[in-house]
Amino acid sequence: MLSIKKELLAALSATLEKLSPGAGEKAVFESPKVAAHGDFATTVAMQLAKPLRQNPRQLAETLCVQLMQQKAFVQWVDALDIAGPGFINLRLKPSAKQQVVREVLHQATRFGAQEKNGQRVLVEFVSANPTGPLHVGHGRQAALGDAICNLFNTQGWDVYREFYYNDAGVQISTLASSTHLRAQGYKPGDAQWPSGEGASAYNGDYIADIAADFLAGKTVRSDDREFTASGQLNDLDGMRQFAVAYLRREQDLDLKAFDVRFDNYYLESSLYTSGKVEAAVARLQAAGKTYEHEGALWLKSTDYGDDKDRVMRKRDGSYTYFVPDVAYHITKWERGFQKVINIQGTDHHGTIARVRAGLQAADVGIPEGYPDYVLHTMVRVMRGGEEVKISKRAGSYVTLRDLIDWTSKDAVRFFLLSRKPDTEYVFDVDLAIAQNNDNPVYYVQYAHARICSVLSAWVQNDRGDVQELQEVDLSPLQSPQAMALMLMLAKYPDMLTAACESFAPHDVTFYLRDLAACYHSYYDAERILVDDNQLKLARLALVSATAQVLHNGLAVLGVSAPQKM
C-alpha cells in the first residue's frame, strides 16, 4: 500500500500543479481523526483557497472532480468525500488495502526500511564513568540509544555507536582511594572509612571484589583495554588502572546482557594527551571569544544565547567539565559526522547551551544546534509494591543487571522505551514478569507467537509453504476487521520515519501495542484455518504479514519475537 500511497500523492501533486504552479509541494496525506471518515485525508483545498481567492469547499469540489479523472485515483480510490470547510477524505478500494499484505511478504525484514542515503550519524550513549556497575538510568539510556540507532538504520543512515567515558579526574581518584582502603581491610562503617557530609568513597561490595582481585595479581580484559595487577598494596597508580579496567569489564558484561554494542570507546583522557583540549581553547582565544577575569579564563557564551558567561579555566589551571566536551565534539565534526546525537540524563541540561556556544565560538564550520540531545529522566523501581532503592552490589542504587535478572532483557528494553524519554518512569518488576495482557511486552510477543502457532498448524496439517502466501489471491479479505488490520500494517513505514525524525522510539512501542490489539481483535472475529482454501490462504497471508511487521518493530527496539510462549 506504500507504493499505492506514492502513486496517489504523485497524482495529487500533478493536479495541484495544474491548478497553481508550485502548489504540488503541498500534496500531503494525513490520517483522518475519525477512522470512519476515510483512509487518507488532505487539507490542500483550505491551504490554497486564500491565495487562489476561492471558497475552500468549492475548491475541494473542483479538486475531487479532477482527481477522479487521474488513473491512480480511478484504480485505487473508492470515493472522495468533502467534510467541513474543505477537508477531502479518501476511501480506498479493498484491493488497495490488500496490497500492503503483498508488500510486507515480499519485502520481509526490509518492509518499512529506506534505501541507503549516504549520510552518517554518530550516536553517543551510556557514556558511564568507570566507577561502578551500570544503574537503571544507564539502562534507560542504553535502550534509548540502541533503539534510536536502529531507527536511523531503517531510514538508510550509516550509524556509528560511541561510548565516551571519563577515565581521569576526581571520581577516578575516589575509586582508587576506595579500592586502596578495601585492600587494607577497611570497610564502610570503620573509623578509617570516609563518612559524613562531603565524604568521597564508593561503598558497594564490588569495591571489595576489585581490591581482592588486585591483590591476587589477576588480569582483567574489557572491550577496549587489558590490565594485569601488580598485587602491591601501595601501587596506587596500578590500582587505579586495574579498577578502571575491572569496571569497564563489568560494564561490558552489563551491556552484553542487554545486547548493546558499540563501534568505539572514546577516552576523555585522550583529549588531554593528544592536545585537543588545549587546541580547542587556543581556537576560542584566537577567535576573541574569551577573556580573563579574577584569575580565570571565561567563554563569552552569552554571545550565543547562554544566560551567563562560563568559566573555562579555573584559577588553579584546571578546566571546567564543559571544555573537554567542546573539544570532543570538535573531533566528532572533524571525523566527518555532520549529524550527532547525544543521549544523556536530564542533569546534563545545563551543559547544552555552553557546549553549543563553545562550538560556535570555535568557528570551525559547525552549524547552530549541533549536536542534537535526547535527555531522559531517571527510573524508579517497584517490586512487591515497594520502591527498591538499594542494591548490595552497588551500595546505593539498583543496577541494570539486577533489573535483567529479576525480569528479562526483553521486558527491560520494552518497558524503558514505553514512555517519552523526559517522562518520569516507574518500572514495575511484578508487571514485567506477569504473563497477562496487562504486561505490554507479553501482549505484543504473544500476538507474534499466536500467529506462529497458526502458521505452524497449517504447515503441519496441510503441508503448506509460507513462501506460497506471497502470491495468493487476497480479494477474500473484505471484513471490517481485516480492513482495519491491513490499514494498521500500512502505517508502519510512516511511523518509523516520524519516530526517527523526532528521536521517539516510544512511538514504536505504542504502534506495536496497537497492532497487537488489532490482530487479537481480528483473531477473535474470524477463524483463520477454515475449510474454504482460497479464504484460508488469504487470511494466512494477512496474519503472516502481521507477524512480520511485529517482528520488524520488535527488532527496532532490540526485543525478541518468540515463536512459542
- Per-residue pLDDT of 453-484, as tens digits, reads 999 999 998 888 899 999 999 999 999 999 99
Do residues 444 and 419 share a domain? no
pLDDT in tens, 308-321: 999 999 999 999 98
Give the separation between CA 370 and CA 65, rounded to whole angstroms: 47
User: Residue 438: is its pLDDT beyond 80?
Assistant: yes
Do residues 546 and 445 share a domain? yes
**Residue 398 near residue 381, CB atoms below 8 Å:** yes
Do residues 34 and 75 share a domain? yes
CA distances from 94 to 39, 98, 557 (A): 11, 6, 32
Write down the pLDDT at residue 35: 77
Query: For 152-194, where are the E strands, in sequence order?
Result: 158-165
Going by C-beta distance under 8 Å and a sequence separation of 6 or more, which residues neighbour residue 220? 213, 226, 227, 242, 245, 246, 249
Do residues 397 and 475 share a domain? no
Structural domain count, the chain: 4
Q: Strand 77-83 and strand 87-92: pairing?
A: antiparallel
Domain that holds residue 353: 274-376
The answer as to whether 536 is a domain residue is yes
The answer as to whether 35 is a domain residue is yes
Last residue of a domain, one of 413, 433, 453: 433
This prediction has a pTM of: 0.91
Nearest to 5 by CA among 59, 94, 72, 60: 72
User: Residue 245: is its pLDDT beyond 80?
Assistant: yes
Write down the pLDDT at residue 204: 87
Average pLDDT over residues 229-250: 95
pLDDT in tens, 488-531: 999 999 999 999 999 999 999 999 999 999 999 999 999 999 99
Write down the pLDDT at residue 223: 79
Do residues 427 and 515 share a domain? no
With helix as H, strand as E and coil as C, how does 219-242 read?
Answer: EEECCCCEEECCCCCCCHHHHHHH
518: Cα within 13 Å, side-chain hemisphere: 24
Tell me the pLDDT band of 393, cut-offs 50, 70 and 90. Answer: low
Give the separation between CA 311 and CA 139, rounded to whole angstroms: 32
How buried is residue 220: exposed, middle or buried, by Cβ count under 10 Å (0-12/13-18/19+)? Answer: buried
Write down the pLDDT at residue 392: 53
Tell me the pLDDT band of 270, cut-offs 50, 70 and 90. Answer: very high
Tell me the pLDDT band of 395, cut-offs 50, 70 and 90. Answer: low
Do residues 549 and 478 share a domain? yes
